Structure 1
């Protein structure tokens, strides 16, 4: 299953956006990346690949998602992910990849790439920006994504889905070729919306970073 979405008419405040000393406009040079996956002792499959980029000309945040529907899709999704990253780097000129606690996602996708003889390590192709680590650098506090969303006043449309619930769902999909056919469409939609909002939150945090992170830093001082 492939789903694409565009959030339109986005404007970025130059004062609030996340910056690095050696780069400007990271929000327009980055991918915003999140996986839902199934791991049992070792990575088994990617359940949902979610990634977005900001198009400065159109002012749109373009999100693309791939969700597996059977075991054979677990191989196909890796090839799709490889093609997406290559296009992002060569055609879209994206240099950064923004995640939240992304080491786990990188470990999973790099392991599965290697297993499928795909010669790519995602966190070596792009400069990685982990917003959990960046927030901790400033505030000396380690927080989860949902708690950070509250700090950034990000209100979700989606229900919160636990990692164990997602893993069980993807486990059933790869073990039972007809399980996805029996899944209610609203369950698939909820999983995709949950992942999309994870990705969109990364962008929203990048473009409002100083508005919220500086406030926390000042309060602690």
Structure 2
């Protein structure tokens, strides 16, 4: 299994009007930022990449952790790793929220696979869920994809855009062919991990600058 850690030093602008829940605008310091790449065929088959981050206020670092499977055995091991990550985040790090984009898909996959592998956890019940796609639609009455919302927030990616179907095919081959990952170019693995990491980082960037870019639609415009 491939593991990647990234630490990004970020100074939060105290003057930016951030995303709020019940008047609380420091959600970013109490949240996980979560995104999966997965393979589903009629039902969830595996998590291909687990990506999650949290902000450490003391060091002002966004700490991102990723795991990517390299074979079928890894597809089982990654579930145990995910469970341990969530338990640590809740108990030791005192995280209360989980921020996603269209997170129902990811929650359906991880909860199904947890249950199938006798892991007693439903992630969206352990944390309060904030789905930025739904939150954006609630305010603007527009439904957008993550990449289009990144344009609204002036987020410029380093990574190439990879389609969900391309990722699903890749992870399908990994769990079916024990040697497929060995034949994969390192550059391809790096691209997948960078793509996932930037999905996670975008969630953090959006929630910390939310009201700078998201304006409620007037009644006359609805």
Q: TM-score range by the shorter chain?
A: over 0.9
Is the counterpart of residue 79 in structure 1 residue 80 in structure 2? yes
Counterpart contact for 1:38–1:47, Cα < 8 Å? yes
Offset of residue 12 of structure 1? 3.3
Moved over 3 A (4+): 12-15, 216-221
Is the counterpart of residue 156 in structure 1 residue 157 in structure 2? yes
Ranges in structure 1 where 5+ consecutive residues have no aligned partner: none
Ranges in structure 2 where 5+ consecutive residues have no aligned partner: none
Alignment of 1:10-49 (within 5 A): 10-21=11-22, 23-49=24-50
Offset of residue 127 of structure 1? 0.0
Aligned-partner Cα distance in 2 for 1:63–1:133: 24
Counterpart contact for 1:27–1:203, Cα < 8 Å? yes
Counterpart contact for 1:13–1:208, Cα < 8 Å? no
2:175 aligned partner: 174
Is the counterpart of residue 185 in structure 1 residue 186 in structure 2? yes
Aligned-partner Cα distance in 1 for 2:10–2:105: 32
1:143 aligned partner: 144
2:196 aligned partner: 195
Offset of residue 220 of structure 1? 4.8
Offset of residue 212 of structure 1? 0.2
Counterpart contact for 2:33–2:98, Cα < 8 Å? yes
Alignment of 1:113-128 (within 5 A): 113-128=114-129
Aligned-partner Cα distance in 2 for 1:212–1:13: 16
Instruction: Count how many residue pairs are aligned between Structure 1 and Structure 2.
Output: 220
Counterpart contact for 2:141–2:217, Cα < 8 Å? no
Offset of residue 9 of structure 1? 3.4
Counterpart contact for 1:13–1:207, Cα < 8 Å? no
Aligned-partner Cα distance in 2 for 1:60–1:166: 29
1:129 aligned partner: 130
Deviations 1:59-105 (A, max 9, x none): 00000000000000000000000000000000000000000000000
Is the counterpart of residue 68 in structure 1 residue 96 in structure 2? no
SS in 2 for 1:206: helix
Offset of residue 185 of structure 1? 0.3
The Cα RMSD (Å) is 1.4
Offset of residue 23 of structure 1? 3.3
Query: What TM-score, normalized by structure 1, do the two folds share?
Result: 0.96
Aligned-partner Cα distance in 2 for 1:34–1:180: 22
Query: What TM-score, normalized by structure 2, do the two folds share?
Result: 0.96
